[in-house]
Amino acid sequence: MQLVEPRPNRPLPIRITPLIDVVFILLVFFMLTTRLLPVDYLELGNNTESRSSVTGEPLPELQVTASGQVVWQDNRYSLGELLEALKAAGIREANLGTSADSRLADFTRTLSALDNAGVEAHWNRQSTNDL
């Protein structure tokens, strides 16, 4: 007595339709969950190609510290004090940098305040000394 049916002589065809369905579902899943652009970062324009470093005075260097204060000419300023000092000095353009432990919120607040005050700020992407 034989309990198991014998295997057929010809091979069984592989159905591709379920595989295509699974691949399509995975494709849709990854398309919906993937970001094409990094939206977690603040994109800043730093176009200094037309500026020559040979002529003219260097731009003032401003640095945002971890406490949210801004250092300019070895003096620490709150944001309001800094805007008054820049206005009194007649500065309309400056380089803005950050210390290694400064927060993004302090940087964007300073950048926005400088922009609203009419000071064109260029983000200094080089690493600076911690203050």
Is 29 domain-assigned?
Answer: no
Could you report the per-residue pLDDT of 36-74, keeping only the tens digit for each? 665 555 556 666 666 555 556 788 888 898 888 999 988
Alpha helices in 1-131 (DSSP H): 17-33, 79-89, 104-116
Q: Is the pLDDT of residue 23 over 90?
A: yes
Residue 103: per-residue pLDDT: 87
Residue 69 half-sphere exposure toward CB, CA atoms < 13 A: 11
Report angle CA 69, 74, 78 to the nearest 5 degrees.
Answer: 20
Is 89 domain-assigned?
Answer: yes
- Look at 90 and 3; give whichever has higher pLDDT: 90
Is 94 domain-assigned?
Answer: yes
CATH of the domain at 79: 3.30.420
Is 108 domain-assigned?
Answer: yes
Q: What is the mean pLDDT of the chain?
A: 80
Please report, for residues 20, 108, 117, the alpha-carbon distance to residue 84 in angstroms, rounded to integers and kept in the order given: 66, 19, 10
Is 12 domain-assigned?
Answer: no
How many distinct structural domains can be found in the chain?
A: 1
Q: Is the pTM of this model over 0.85?
A: no
Q: Is the pLDDT of residue 2 over 90?
A: no
Cα–Cα nearest to 106, from 71, 67, 60: 67
- Residue 73 is part of which domain span? 61-123
Residue 47: per-residue pLDDT: 64
